[in-house]
Structure 1
Amino acid sequence: MTTSTTPITELIAFTIDSSDAARLAKFYADLTGGEVTGDYPEYGYAAASILGSAFNFQTVADYARPQWPGQEHPQQFHIDLRVTDVAAAADHAISLGATVAGEQPGGGAWQVMIDPDGHPFCLCPPKD
């Protein structure tokens, strides 16, 4: 018996839980040079165009902040971003409200940062 399947043809967006959707959309838009493309407070939802991709953010009641690197409150996801200058990108992220993660695996090959809602993201240097 043959089963017909329809291939996935498009990624519409990546959606991230947040304590404040509008704030986190603005953080990632400012971090990456993107733009906030929608803010819908009545739905607890915001959207941003980040590096040519759609990222959605949804405000979640009783949001549980991830705690890097522990798994009591898992990281849920993390984003790796390629940057030309890790130190400058880290300074920029900090100016927007990020913090440097206390634990830095990788022996300095990348910088782990924490966004305003506790999600880790990595700043990765240029490819060799």
Structure 2
Amino acid sequence: MPLQMKLSAITLDCPDPLALAAFYQQATGLEPHPKSDADFAGLIHDDGLFIGFQRVDDYRAPSWPDQIVPQQLHICFKVAEELDEAQAQLLELGAGKPEQPDEDRYRVLTDPAGHPFCIVSER
């Protein structure tokens, strides 16, 4: 029988934990962890999922899609809006838009620290 595990946390390396937490807070509506600071910040979901952001000296952002610096992590989010609308909102928040493999089905964006993430429409 397989071990029963529930995902409880995801932590991203970055140069500025509070700034990256603010980006994801605006993008997701998750609540900030009350003990967030300049070295480690976090967001909490109602179901207990925690997204953490930890300061790393000499952080090197992933280079996607070329993988010269591997992406290290890839997060996907479902969005209620149409992809164009959700993408526009995320770009306004500071996301980047690298080369796209398939803009009809999903969009690959990068957070302000360079981590790639996807958005897919729930529709």
TM-score normalised by length of structure 2: 0.86
Partner of 2:61: 65
Deviation at 1:19, TM superposition (A): 0.9
Out of 35, 43, 48, the residue aligned to residue 48 of structure 1 is 43
2:21 is paired with a residue whose SS is helix
Partner of 2:27: 31
Name structure 1 gaps, 5 residues minimum.
1-6
Paired residues of 1:113 and 1:122 also in contact (CA < 8 A):
yes
Out of 18, 21, 25, the residue aligned to residue 17 of structure 2 is 21
Partner of 2:76: 80
| Distance in structure 1 (CA, Å) of the matches to 2:45 and 2:53 | 12
Is residue 2:112 matched to residue 1:119? Answer: no
Cα-to-partner distance string for 1:45-94 (whole Å, 9 max, x where unaligned) = 00112574210110100001111101110111111111122111111111
Partner of 1:3: none
1:30 is paired with a residue whose SS is helix
What is the aligned length?
A: 120
Is residue 2:99 matched to residue 1:99? Answer: no
Paired residues of 1:12 and 1:54 also in contact (CA < 8 A):
yes
Deviation at 1:12, TM superposition (A): 3.3
Is residue 2:87 matched to residue 1:90? Answer: yes
Alignment root-mean-square deviation, CA: 2.1
Name structure 2 gaps, 5 residues minimum.
none
Identity %: 36
